Amino acid sequence: MLFMNTSASFRTNLIFISLVLITLFALPSLSLAQSDCAFDKTLEIGVIDESVRCLQEYLNTNGYKLTSEGPGSPGSETDKYGSLTREAVAKWQKDNGVSPAVGIFGPVSQAKYKELAGGPIASVAETERDRLLSILSDLQAQVDGGLKETNSKPTILNTVSTPKPQVAGVSTSANDENREEVEVILKDVIKMIKDAEAQIDDLENEKKQTKLKDDLADARSDFYVALESYFDEDYEDALDSANDALDSAGDVFEDAGGETDESKAKDTLRSVEDLLEEVQDLFNEAEDEGEDVGDAEDMIEEAIDLLSDANDSYDKRVYRQAISDALDAEELLEDARDEIDIVSDKNAESYVEDVRDKLYDAEEEIQDAEDEDEEVEDAWDLFNDAERKIKKADIAIDEEDYKGANKLAKDAEDLIEEALDAIGGSGDGESDAEEALSDAWDEYKDARDEVEEADDEGDDVGDAYDYLKDAKSALKDAEDAFDEEDWDEVMDLVEEAERAIEDALDEL
């Protein structure tokens, strides 16, 4: 067996180098000439994309015809990746040495396609590619020889077969942790370079494209330095260079119009930290006034712990985890704010104004009903009572009795609802809107749990967190519309939230 009698760390190095080489070959601007078809995703059963049509045309004209007639046949290629495409791809993979030959057209297959369709591999990275291939060859020779010394030309990894002496106080496990951390960052760099390239290709300004491509070359240079340090087992230098490469590639990505996970995490953390400060001020004010704060204190403490975890993840560049923890903290802080029974001058005045707007709307509705000869006498009586409550609330605010103003405004709001009920102003729309809003919140929470679970398992969740954020924003707006009794707006916003939730789940 290939890896028999080899150490675990040696096998890990060999596997990682192989993965790096495969990934480098899959980066078009690093190692491949342009070909007829452009692929930006793995193609498999169920994928619908124009690149599938291009792939089918390539297969049909190169001896791997999908079918003689109907969809997929020459001249009738489609954009859907079905069983016929999979079978043709599997035959192509087998003939061209792509393993496993199972009909999934991923990065390795795409690299082989570009090599065949675009000619020999040639790029500014050719020297690095050859150097890495030489390293891999030497490693293979060491494996075949059972880690015995070989006559091969020395490489930067020849020290793998002879472990370095351990420095006092530095454990092997610590060294392994450093190596694993470097590997994570290197993989992030590769992804960021690919994302930056795609973003640059979408630009219409050729001058800006040229400049950003030059800037991206600096990121690649740092990446190669990091790889060399990694192969030398100098993980500290490797980490520094890898982080430099990630920062440089991220800057290019953002300059080209993209938004990095780092930027999203920073904005999310800043927003939640502002919310924490606001809720803590409300909590302190409530305690000073002797008001009921419910479970707010426990919620705030838990949110602080989550924010601390989020900041730690941010410092370690695990940005998606930072976003996830920050959003959980945000939800706790919003619940804590709801627990605090306190009325400040700002929110009392705002509440009274909101009820006053409802009063004006009710006046128009009652007047319309009266113009249509409906019975509105009781409605006007209730309306007048509500108007008097609002006037008293204004007086209470002038006297800085904010709690009293809040209570008077609540009484006025109840009277307005009774006035509208007196003319049939509240229809079945309220119950429908309430049920739809409640169901949507349940869908949001289930989707969030599913996304977080996938993220924890190391799956690519794409822009799922962004879609969930959009869904939550829409549901918050729906709650405001419900308070304003705008049932149609509630239903529209719920639909918007549900679409965002579906988009988030589609990202998994």
Q: What is the pLDDT of residue 342?
A: 54
Q: Name the 3-class secondary structure at 443.
A: helix
C-alpha closest to that of 230 among 249, 218, 248, 243: 243
State both tokens at 405. 């103003």
Q: Which of 258, 274, 307 is the last residue of a domain?
A: 258
State both tokens at 464. 């799922």
User: What is the span of the domain harbouring residue 433?
Assistant: 429-506
Q: Is the pLDDT of residue 396 over 90?
A: no
- Which carries the bigger pLDDT value, residue 502 or residue 139? 502
Mean pLDDT of the chain: 78
Q: What is the pLDDT of residue 30?
A: 38
Residue at token pair 């891999």:
136
Q: What are the beta bridge partners of residue 43?
A: 105
137 found inside a domain:
no
47 found inside a domain:
yes
Q: What is the pLDDT of residue 181?
A: 80
175 found inside a domain:
yes
CA distance 448 to 442: 10
In 55-199, DSSP assigns E strands to none
pLDDT one-digit tens code per residue, 229-284 = 888 888 888 888 888 888 888 888 888 888 878 888 888 999 999 989 888 888 88
124 found inside a domain:
no
7 found inside a domain:
no
HSE-CB at 349 with a 13 A cutoff on CA atoms is 7
Q: Name the 3-class secondary structure at 105.
A: strand
CA distance 26 to 193: 11
159 found inside a domain:
no
Q: Integer distance in angstroms from the first to the last C-alpha of the chain?
A: 36
Both 470 and 434 in one domain: the answer is: yes
Q: Which of 102, 118, 134 is the last residue of a domain?
A: 118
Q: What is the pLDDT of residue 22?
A: 47
State both tokens at 366. 């009652």
202 found inside a domain:
yes
Burial label for 491, CB within 10 Å (0-12, 13-18, 19+), is middle
What percent of the chain is predicted at pLDDT more than 70? Answer: 79
187 found inside a domain:
yes
pLDDT one-digit tens code per residue, 176-223 = 677 888 788 888 888 889 888 888 888 888 888 888 888 888 888 888
Domain count, the chain: 5
Q: Name the 3-class secondary structure at 345.
A: helix
CA distance 227 to 132: 9
Indicate the pTM of the whole model.
0.38
